[in-house]
């Protein structure tokens, strides 16, 4: 009897072989499997970012092994340097134009393609396609289109509007709007998809009830559709704000920040100051300022959205 039980008890030697039966695996809580990934992300993203932020308070040039602590000197230079202030102002202007125009165009496309058109799936794909294209590659294509001897000025000539021909990317005023056009063209499809998903979540009965009550198409859009679309619109706006504040590829490919700094942004200044001029400390301070700007915009947008939701609840 004793021998029978000893064959089944973990850790007790088998009478015939003399080997101990291995202990069964202990129960592992499900969250424990996520610990290695969480630690890796924490170390690679957050710890590295915080450690890199320290250089914003130094005069490190990226070559010497040591850096001298300079306090807030880099930030003082940012707010007293005309070029940096222009870049900061341009960043805010780009973000504002990008958020408004991208979401307006995206809303128009979403409402139009939410109708029962035979070609709606093909059109949705066509308008979303620029989102997945390489930002740098498409910017170089647009650079060719905006060239003085390019297709846009050529089309104006054909239409008898030669007086409207411009050096789109060499003019301080028009170069800003040329970059905005490229940004809106590339990202309106993303806003369209987000808002289209929101539109398809609105019950059809609500629209039909408003129509039976005599509401016009405009009244249904403003008083019924848009309030119910607020959650999707909030997501689209938040993504637009973050993308608009961090634009880089399009500016570098189209104008390289020129002419005369008309399209210079904080992101392009971070690259130039850090990797072109070797001012790593100053470039890190610019990057830190841009990060704070994006975080502040995201927090304000979240607080505004929650306040609106509480009012409508």
DSSP H or E segment with residue 252 = helix 249-254
Tell me what pLDDT residue 217 has: 82
Nearest Cα residue to 194 out of 263, 116, 114:
114
Whether residue 140 contacts residue 146, with contact meaning beta carbons closer than 8 Å, is answered with no
Backbone phi, psi, residue 212, to 5°:
-65, -35
Give the Cβ contact number of residue 48 at 10 Å.
11
CA distances from 157 to 96, 161, 177, 185 (A): 33, 6, 21, 23
Whether residue 180 contacts residue 174, with contact meaning beta carbons closer than 8 Å, is answered with no
Whether residue 161 contacts residue 79, with contact meaning beta carbons closer than 8 Å, is answered with no
Full-model pTM: 0.80
Of 1-15, 23-37, 228-242, highest mean pLDDT: 228-242
Query: Of the ranges 2-11, 14-23, 196-205, 296-305, which one carries the lowest mean pLDDT score?
Result: 2-11
Nearest-angstrom CA–CA distance, 106 and 127:
9
Tell me what pLDDT residue 10 has: 53
| Residue 259: cis peptide before it, omega within 30 degrees of 0 | yes
pLDDT digits (tens, 9 = 90+) for 193-209: 999 999 998 888 887 88
Q: How confident is the model at residue 1 (pLDDT cuts 50, 70, 90)?
A: very low
Of 57-71, 111-125, 126-140, highest mean pLDDT: 126-140
Class of domain 68-312: mainly alpha
Nearest-angstrom CA–CA distance, 217 and 211:
8
Nearest-angstrom CA–CA distance, 241 and 94:
10
Q: CA torsion, points 247, 249, 250, 256, in degrees to nearest 10?
A: 100
pLDDT at 23 over 70: no
pLDDT digits (tens, 9 = 90+) for 149-192: 999 999 999 999 988 988 999 998 899 999 999 999 999 999 99
Nearest Cα residue to 179 out of 84, 87, 83, 248:
248
Tell me what pLDDT residue 2 has: 44
Tell me what pLDDT residue 3 has: 47
pLDDT at 267 over 60: yes
Average pLDDT over residues 236-241: 91
Average pLDDT over residues 217-228: 85
Nearest-angstrom CA–CA distance, 118 and 120:
6
pLDDT digits (tens, 9 = 90+) for 92-120: 999 999 999 999 999 999 999 988 888 88
The full set of domain ranges for the chain reads 68-312
Whether residue 70 contacts residue 58, with contact meaning beta carbons closer than 8 Å, is answered with yes
Nearest-angstrom CA–CA distance, 21 and 107:
67
């Amino acid at each position: 009897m004793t021998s029978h039980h000893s064959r089944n008890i973990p850790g007790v030697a088998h009478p015939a072989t003399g080997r101990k039966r291995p202990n069964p695996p202990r129960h592992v809580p499900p969250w424990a499997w996520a610990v290695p990934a969480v630690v890796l992300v924490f170390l690679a993203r957050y710890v590295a970012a915080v450690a890199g932020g320290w250089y914003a308070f130094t005069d490190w040039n990226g070559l010497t092994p040591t850096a001298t602590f300079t306090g807030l000197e880099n930030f003082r230079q940012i707010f007293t340097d005309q070029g940096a202030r222009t870049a900061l102002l341009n960043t805010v202007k780009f973000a504002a134009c990008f958020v408004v125009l991208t979401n307006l165009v995206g809303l128009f496309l979403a409402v139009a393609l939410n109708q029962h058109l035979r070609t709606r799936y093909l059109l949705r794909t066509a308008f979303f396609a620029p989102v997945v294209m390489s930002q740098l590659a498409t910017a170089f294509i647009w650079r060719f289109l905006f060239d003085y001897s390019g297709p846009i000025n050529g089309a104006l000539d054909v239409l008898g509007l030669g007086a409207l021909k411009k050096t789109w990317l060499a003019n301080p005023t028009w170069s800003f709007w040329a970059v905005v056009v490229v940004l809106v063209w590339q990202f309106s499809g993303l806003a369209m998809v987000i808002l289209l998903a929101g539109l398809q979540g609105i019950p059809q009965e609500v629209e039909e009830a408003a129509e039976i009550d005599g509401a016009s198409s405009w009244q249904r859009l403003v008083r019924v559709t848009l309030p119910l679309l607020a959650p999707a619109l909030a997501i689209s706006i938040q993504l637009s704000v973050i993308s608009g504040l961090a634009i880089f590829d399009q500016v570098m490919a189209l104008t390289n920040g020129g002419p005369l700094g008309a399209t210079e942004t904080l992101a392009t200044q971070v690259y130039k100051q850090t990797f072109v001029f070797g001012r790593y400390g100053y470039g890190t301070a610019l990057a830190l300022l841009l990060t704070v700007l994006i975080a502040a915009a995201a927090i304000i947008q979240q607080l505004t959205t929650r306040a609106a939701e509480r009012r409508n609840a």
